[in-house]
């Protein structure tokens, strides 16, 4: 697994978060073509919920766990919506001639008070062994304490990268990377190398409609993977060529997350 690449596709690039159940097929198809050029390096793809999972999960407060009977409908609807989105992602990547297969976290991952407790890696290993690329996603999952909750795609991607000792973890988002703020000029600037010290001094803006915490928690997961020796990048997945370039080790506009 030393050559493994884990790619997290943000919900903001594969869907339009302002339009429920929208899907950016052209973006996913283009990303699939970029990935095809760097395959067959071991690859696991994880995607976010975007306009499919987040609105339902937020409306039913699924992340807080089981509190009332009507939430059961929301739990089931969230799982169903995410499977629909995963089907769209998988079929589109297949159209780019990338050999992919969807693996639902609701059936393979269990959390305990929100933290991943168990993950069945057998389907992932079996898929990669025969040349398939597993495609997982943020999902509503069963939880030992909360009964159910939301598993962030960022958390899942970081967990897989750490457990399988991946070479790279790439977060593809809808901005160029993580931005800082210059108090003297009142201008935002792209942080090319983000350390823990810098992270703790950044004022992150809340992300409306994102039940998984937005950029702050994305960086938290990125730092966790970096502590385990994974090369971590946050780049703009909407800009053609950047995903392919970072996989190939080329310098790209973006943020590299480092422990020191």
The SS3 assignment for 3 reads: coil
Q: Pick from 99, 117, 100: which is nearest to 108 by CA?
A: 117
Distance of CA 176 to the CA centre of its chain: 16
Q: Pick from 168, 123, 175: which is nearest to 12 by CA?
A: 175
Beta-carbon contacts of 201 under 8 Å, excluding residues fewer than 6 positions away, are none
**What pLDDT was estimated at residue 112?**
98
Provide, rounded to the nearest whole percent, the portion of the chain with pLDDT above 90.
83
Q: Pick from 12, 143, 137, 9: which is nearest to 85 by CA?
A: 137
**What pLDDT was estimated at residue 189?**
87
Mean pLDDT, range 144-166, rounded to an integer:
97
The SS3 assignment for 104 reads: coil
**What pLDDT was estimated at residue 214?**
78
| Paired sense of beta strands 231-236 and 255-257, if any | antiparallel
pLDDT at 210 over 60: no
**What pLDDT was estimated at residue 41?**
77
What CA–CA distance (Å, rounded) separates 151 from 145?
14
pLDDT at 40 over 70: no
Two tokens, residue 58: 């937020």
Q: Which domains does the chain have, with CATH numbers?
A: 5-257 (3.40.1160.10)
What CA–CA distance (Å, rounded) separates 141 from 22?
23
pLDDT higher for 183 or 62? 62
pTM of the complete model: 0.94
DSSP 8-state code for residue 252: -
215 band by pLDDT with thresholds 50, 70 and 90: confident
| Paired sense of beta strands 133-137 and 168-173, if any | unpaired
pLDDT at 211 over 80: no
**What pLDDT was estimated at residue 188?**
85
Mean pLDDT, range 155-166, rounded to an integer:
97
2 band by pLDDT with thresholds 50, 70 and 90: low
**What pLDDT was estimated at residue 124?**
97
| pLDDT one-digit tens code per residue, 22-36 | 999 999 999 999 999
């Amino acid at each position: 697994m030393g050559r493994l690449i884990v790619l997290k596709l943000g919900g903001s690039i594969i869907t339009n978060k302002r339009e429920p159940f929208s899907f950016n097929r052209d973006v996913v198809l283009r990303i699939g073509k970029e990935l095809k050029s760097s395959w067959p390096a071991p690859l696991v793809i994880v995607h976010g919920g975007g306009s499919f999972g987040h609105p339902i999960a937020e409306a039913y407060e699924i992340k807080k766990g089981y509190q009332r009977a009507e939430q059961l409908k929301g739990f089931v609807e969230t799982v169903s919506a995410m499977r629909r989105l995963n089907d769209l992602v998988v079929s589109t990547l297949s159209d780019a001639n990338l050999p992919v297969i969807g693996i639902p976290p609701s059936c393979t991952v269990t959390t305990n008070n929100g933290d991943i407790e168990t993950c069945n890696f057998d389907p992932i290993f079996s898929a990669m062994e025969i040349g398939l690329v597993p495609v997982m996603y943020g999902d509503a999952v069963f939880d030992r304490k909360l009964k159910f909750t939301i598993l962030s795609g960022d958390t899942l991607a970081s967990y897989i990268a750490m457990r399988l000792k991946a070479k790279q973890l790439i977060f593809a988002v809808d901005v160029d990377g993580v931005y800082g703020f210059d108090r003297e000029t009142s201008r935002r600037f792209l942080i090319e190398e983000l350390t823990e010290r810098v992270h703790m001094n950044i004022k992150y803006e809340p992300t409306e409609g994102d039940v998984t915490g937005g950029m702050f928690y994305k960086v938290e997961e990125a730092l966790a993977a970096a502590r385990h020796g994974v090369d971590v990048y946050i780049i703009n997945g909407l800009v053609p060529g950047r995903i392919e370039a970072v996989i190939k080790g080329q310098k790209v506009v973006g943020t590299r997350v480092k422990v020191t």
